[in-house]
Structure 1
Amino acid sequence: MREIKTETLTLVLSKLLGTKIIGADYQSNQLHGGTVGDVHLITGNAENTDGVELPYKIVLKTQKKWERYNDPDSWRREYDFYKSNFGALFSETFRWPGCFHVEMNEGETETQLWMEYIEGISGLNLTGDMYERAAEELGRFQGKLFAEQPAFLQEMTNVSKVDYMKNFYLHYRSWKRVYDYIRSDECKIPKHLCKMLIDIDERAEEIFSRIEKLPIVLCHRDFWVENIFHSDGKTILIDWDTAGWGYIGEDLASLIADEADIEHMVEYYHRCIPAYYKGFSEYADISHIRDDCVYEMILLMFGYRLVEWYMNAGEEDNLQEGDDERTLHIQTLQKIYEMRKE
């Protein structure tokens, strides 16, 4: 991470702490990141004009320009969202992290976001009640936007497109490495799970014809447990760089299947879908929907990805870790299989 400018740090901390800051020290610890983006927790003590020292924590997210398949401007989406009025759409119980300063470098190849540090429960530490709460809050948020159709949101240009899920699936399906593998004699994935995936391929046109009749809503598109925080009874959702127009229920596929809680996966499938529609129904009548297609969306979005992860497991790790990973991906596919069988 490059050195932080003193004037930027004091500006940000003045907003964060609600007092004029004249100086501050800092330490930086990487939370996660890589070649595309880096996220650091910045901590230290700040001094205000009265000479009072105030401890602080804040997140600095640096995002470099890159092109995601079928969504080339996603790298700057959070910057664009935070520069807009999007934050006003949230509620007390469902929101994103507060942002205190945004910057774009002169060459428009990198953004910096100074954001609130969220302390709460996340990832596989989320309980079933928290899963259900997150699903209901998301439904309520999407239902409100669907009903009210905020004008500025309709005018925003940097959002992912409604056909993103379909193009993502077709891109994976065209990849012969995974497509041919589940149809080959060398495939070690249980045959009934391969058949589940092949059946989806054979019915894809009919499935998408049903999905495309569903209401179009603003999707987060990365609504998985590592991006969901439960704090003081509130749901806080981070990482909005893939957000855009999609179909009602689409985000539930990520909540249920993306690096899932295997032991409770089927249970959460049955708990989260009704909770989501309960929240959505507070703002819009969706009683006419008889087939939400969430099960099919899970397979369309994660079927081939799980096959890829299975095939890649152990390539850079020891044999035991590879075996454990492959077992996890098979278990995930098995739980998806069990969802429809119940």
Structure 2
Amino acid sequence: MHEALREAVGEAVGGRVTELTDLQRTPLDYDAFLAHRTVSRLRGYAIADGIRVPWTMIEKRTEGPGLASPYLLDNGSREFAAYGSGLLDDVAPGIGAPKLYGALQDETGGRTLWLEEIHHDGARPLDAESILAAARDLGGMAGRWLVREPAEPWYFTGWIDRHSQPEAVEAGLATLRRTHPDAVTRLGDRLARTEQLILDQSRYRTILESLPQTLCHHDAVGANIFRSHGRTVLIDWESVGAGPVGADLASLVFSSVRRGDALAGVMLPVVEEALVRYAAALRVEAPSVTVEEVRLGFDASVALRWKLAVDVVAGLEKGQPPRRGSLPDEDPDVALEELIGLVDLLLASADRALHPARDPGP
């Protein structure tokens, strides 16, 4: 691996590297539940064309099949293929990916990517400006790929099941039907509406599969979004694949708040503007797609995320409201209010998707 890393550093510094010195490796926080995946910041000095120069990059490694789970192998292989294919060299005018400096698949089947380190120019959790800029740029990417018919064999195809979690339906319905007093007090008729939402999941799938399909990141949450030098840069292309218009906007809006990458008080007031900007940018490239189709794709994609409401109910039963991973020290009462606000968005979107002429509001 040393030789491959030296070549990657050469790509980063733009010269022929003869020696690496003072190498430092700093592990970065990255989805701790995914064992046998590591992300580190590497830095040091290189002797390049006779000159000592500093360098830094991100190393992302997925272990081979002897260690990593099939799920992790699948994701790691997809991102490795995405970079190797050249797909990410020119995603869209407003969307970028970190530059690839080098890649290695070793004898164990492990895969390593050496990538450009990206720095976010805005605030975290995401501020309204970054949210709206990302919505616009995601729309531009969707519009550009509508006319390219994305169909690589390694594209991710299971995104609907990943969000709708059919394997969890039976337990989810049982949780709602226990009508725990605390859940009834805090959620009221949201319990019955969520039960119907779960029972309607096949209808949302049908809607999503009927809409214009494009290239989606499928994990465009705040933690994976960087505003850098006036562009939106997306990291973690492990779930890239085909999906309907509006799907990435649902990830940005809904999943960012669910994870704590954005605050409901910042996100929810700009949802409509985000949709307008996404649709406008998409229609520059693909004017045949209507705003109504974009809105339907967004609403139906949000409606897949019924598990949030069940998680809130389960937390109330246990006296431990669900926490948001990007805000581990958040006050539990604040977290609960944020998530109940998101439940309202979930239910409103679900209703609009099945009854587009109606607008029940949050």
Calculate the TM-score normalised by the size of structure 2.
0.80
Deviation at 1:118, TM superposition (A): 0.3
SS at match of 1:182: helix
User: In structure 1, what residue type is equivalent to 2:220?
Assistant: F
Q: Is the 2:138–2:249 Cα contact (8 Å) retained in structure 1? A: no
On the 8 A contact 1:135/1:276 being kept in 2, the answer is yes
Question: 2:302 matched to 1:298?
Answer: yes
User: Per the alignment, do residues 230 and 172 of structure 1 end up closer, same or farther by CA in structure 2, a change over 3 Å counting?
Assistant: farther
Give the corresponding residue for 1:55. 54
Q: CA separation of 1:206/1:57 partners in 2, compared to 1, >3 Å: closer, same or farther? A: same
Structure 2 gap ranges (5+):
258-262, 350-359
Q: Is the CA contact (8 Å cut-off) linking 1:266 and 1:336 kept in structure 2?
A: no
> What is the match of residue 20 of structure 1?
16
User: What CA deviation, in whole Å up to 9, does each residue of 1:257-302 have, x standing for no partner?
Assistant: 11412112322311111111111111112454635322232131x2
Contact 2:208–2:300 under 8 Å retained in 1: no
Shift of 1:36: 3.9
| Cα distance change of structure 1 residues 92 and 15 upon mapping to structure 2, 3 Å threshold | farther
In angstroms, what is the RMSD of aligned CA positions?
2.9
Q: Which amino acid counterpart does residue 171 of structure 1 have in structure 2? A: P
What is the distance in 1 between the residues matched to 2:255 and 2:208? 20
How far apart, CA to CA, are the structure 2 residues paired with 1:137 and 1:320?
30
Answer yes or no: is the 8 Å Cα contact 1:262–1:335 preserved in 2. Answer: no
Query: CA, structure 1 residues 27+112, in 2 after alignment: closer, same or farther (shift >3 Å)?
Result: same
The share of aligned pairs that are identical, in percent, is 19
Give CA-to-partner distance per residue, 1:203-259, whole Å, 9 cap, x none. Answer: 334333332221011111101000000011111000010111111111111101114
1:15 CA displacement:
0.6
1:188 to 163, 182, 205: 182
- What residue ranges of structure 1 are gaps of 5+ in the alignment? none
Runs of 4+ in 1 over 6 A off after TM superposition: none
Shift, 1:173, TM fit: 4.6
Q: CA deviation at 1:315?
A: 9.1
For residue 275 of structure 2, what is the aligned residue in structure 1? 273
Is it true that 1:32 corresponds to 2:65 in the alignment?
no
1:67 aligns with 2:70: yes
Once residues 37 and 101 of structure 2 are traced to their aligned partners in structure 1, the CA distance between those partners, rounded to angstroms, is 19
Aligned to 1:198: 195
> Is 1:231 the equivalent of 2:228?
yes
User: Which of 179, 185, 206 is equivalent to 2:173?
Assistant: 179
1:245 aligned residue: 242
Instruction: Name the counterpart of 1:104.
Output: 105
Which segment is superposed worse, 263-272 or 228-237?
263-272
1:156-204 Cα distance to aligned partner (Å, 9 max, x none): 211111x53146415255241x221122122633123223322322433
Question: CA contact under 8 A between 2:226 and 2:234: conserved in structure 1?
Answer: yes
Q: 1:15 to 1:72 in 2, by over 3 A?
A: closer
2:314 aligned partner: 311
Instruction: Kindly state the Cα deviation for residue 127 of structure 1 after the two structures are TM-superposed.
Output: 2.4
Structure 2 residue matching 1:217: 3-state secondary structure: strand
What is the alpha-carbon distance in structure 2 between the residues aligned to residue 335 and residue 41 of structure 1? Answer: 37
Using the TM superposition, name which of 90-99 and 213-222 deviates more: 90-99
Structure 1 90/213 Cα, relative in aligned 2: closer, same or farther at 3 Å?
same
Show the counterpart of 2:5: 9
Aligned to 2:353: none
Whether the 8 Å contact between 1:172 and 1:304 is mirrored in structure 2 is no
